[in-house]
Amino acid sequence: MRLQEFQRLYFLRVFNCFPLCYVLYFLLFLALALGACTEQGKMGEQLKQVAEKTLSEQKFAQFDLEFLLGEEHDLEAVEVLVKYDHTLKHEQKYKAYPFSKVFASLLAQGDYDWIQASDPSKILITYKCVDGYNASTTLDVALSQESYIAFTDLNSETEAWTGRMASKMPPFYLVWEEVPYDDHSLLWPYGLSKLTLTPYEAAYASIMPKENLEGFKLYETHCLKCHSLNKIGGVMGPEFNYPRNILSYWEADNMWAFLNDPKSFRYNSKMPPITYLERAQFDEIVKYLRELDQMPRDPS
């Protein structure tokens, strides 16, 4: 056979085999892909089951306080004289429900044995307000002395709330009878609408530091109620860590100056001057924020 004829037959045979090879390769790829999808489907189902189990076992409670405005409860309101109202800066009289009695009533409405069986210093209670202010403290502090869920300003005989309180306080305002003017350890959330309770460590897992615990506690006390971290905390002010840490675009000295005189930086700033925080305490907060910037962000 001549060389030219041999070459012609060879190329024809190879060319005719190409479509069959492609089909075989495609079928092999399809089989592998279907197998992978099946395994992924099984894995996805397993992950879904784990997630559902985790959610079902999660210790979390949320209570809407709106029921207090109706008549379908047996709680008795009392008159409370607040010697120094930390929001209004003077003595004030309210009609209110004792917090301890409201709390006991809420726990009696469902299966909350985990709350009653837990160390109250390890449970976080968050007062959720209609303006986005989410103030948190541990349950032992919340129950350390009697507080009151106020719903009426008794300075008026015709209106529930008067003056500038009418736009700020409803539906409820948490008050304390006798707290010195220089004691900032207790919370006075107004516009209060809901309560949530969560195990302390679970609630703060994504923002709990390994080193700067003092800075974290200071941030929790003075900042977290307005400025969230990884979407944990209040939303009245800007988030400080997600998606970018505030120290990546604000210098610490400028933050300190802003803290002491917000309106010197921003016209009509809603933030009040924080003059009771010492510079050494602020520096500890900065150290904590720097550590947080190096930790994995979890905004879920």
| 121-140 tens-digit pLDDT | 999 999 999 998 999 999 99
193 near 65, Cβ under 8 Å?
A: yes
Q: Of 149-153, 203-207, 295-299, which has the strongest mean pLDDT?
A: 149-153
CA nearest to 260, candidates 234, 281, 290, 232: 281
Q: Is residue 214 very low, low, confident or very high in pLDDT (cuts 50, 70, 90)? A: very high
CA nearest to 188, candidates 133, 106, 123: 133
What pLDDT does 270 receive?
85
- CA quadruple 67, 72, 78, 79: dihedral positive or negative? positive
What pLDDT does 162 receive?
86
- Residue pLDDT, tens place only, 222-259: 999 899 999 999 888 999 999 999 999 999 999 999 99
> Residue 7: is its pLDDT beyond 80?
no
The pTM assigned to this predicted structure is 0.69
pLDDT mean over 266-289 = 94
What pLDDT does 56 receive?
43
197 near 60, Cβ under 8 Å?
A: yes
Q: Is residue 10 very low, low, confident or very high in pLDDT (cuts 50, 70, 90)? A: very low
pLDDT mean over 50-70 = 72
128 near 192, Cβ under 8 Å?
A: yes
What pLDDT does 176 receive?
97
What pLDDT does 285 receive?
98
What pLDDT does 29 receive?
60
Angle, CA 296 vertex, CA 284 and CA 195 arms, to 5°: 75
> Residue 2: is its pLDDT beyond 90?
no
Give the total residue count for the chain: 300
User: Which residues partner with 81 through β-bridges?
Assistant: 93
Residue corresponding to tokens 């004030």: 92
Q: How far apart are CA 259 and CA 262, in angstroms?
A: 6
Backbone torsions φ then ψ of 257, nearest 5 degrees: -65, -40
